[in-house]
Amino acid sequence: MRTDELIEALSAKSKPVNRFEVELRVAAGLGVGAAVAVAVVVFLIGVRPDIARAAATPAFWLKFVFTGAVSMAAMALSCRLGRPACKVRVLWWAVAAPLALVIVGAAAELAMAPASHRLGLWLGSSWMVCPALIFLLSIPACLGMLWAFRRLAPTQLRLAGFGAGLAAGAIGASAYALVCRESSMAFMATWYVLGILAVGAMGALLGPRVLRW
């Protein structure tokens, strides 16, 4: 068989690939992870008892705006890093922007608060458990991202792991927000961010091992 005939025979069996295959796969992995995390909160941990009243305040929704922005930006970053040799500089800025904004907001909040209230705004009453619960609630999304990357072709494995971890961490933080009674930006800028970055760090550590193809 000649080379031309071989190419024609192979191409005849090929099927067109959905141009959004990567995005759909990553979204599916994160979506299932988010559903599991919310189920854990609802059925095992329990949502905050005053959630109906809290939902009437902007502070409650601000947490979801923040975690949603990080998860969407990190998801876009993960989709790009799931392809070989893609440039991602702009997307790193997209991930950093909500983190920077919440830190600036926290600094302004602390600056305007009386000195006697600043420690309470920063630590709240749950600072010791917040990062740990975010980390644990991120595990289903982490597994979903691992499943998604099984069919992808990342070449920057450590960065891909970090991006996937950030996306999963933001999903875990969103689920945790259903439990959290804290409302200050100082708390969110410290302990939410710490929990999300911890999952990102785990992804960066494991990326070269688990994302290799």
Give tens-digit pLDDT for 150-164. Answer: 888 888 899 999 999
pLDDT tens track for 101-113: 999 999 999 999 9
Position 29 scores a pLDDT of 94
Mean pLDDT of the region 65-93: 89
Alpha carbons 55 and 139: distance in angstroms, whole number: 26
Query: In the chain, what are the domain boundaries?
Result: 19-47+54-210
The model's confidence at residue 10, banded by pLDDT at 50, 70 and 90, is: very low
> CA-CA-CA-CA torsion for 104, 188, 64, 75, nearest 10 degrees?
80
- Are the C-beta atoms of 171 and 33 separated by less than 8 Å? yes
Q: Which of these, 75, 89, 100, 96, lies nearest to 168 by C-alpha position?
A: 75
- Cβ(52)–Cβ(109) under 8 Å? no
Q: Would you state the pLDDT for residue 69?
A: 97
Task: Decide if pLDDT at 18 tops 70.
Answer: no
* pLDDT for the residue 143: 94
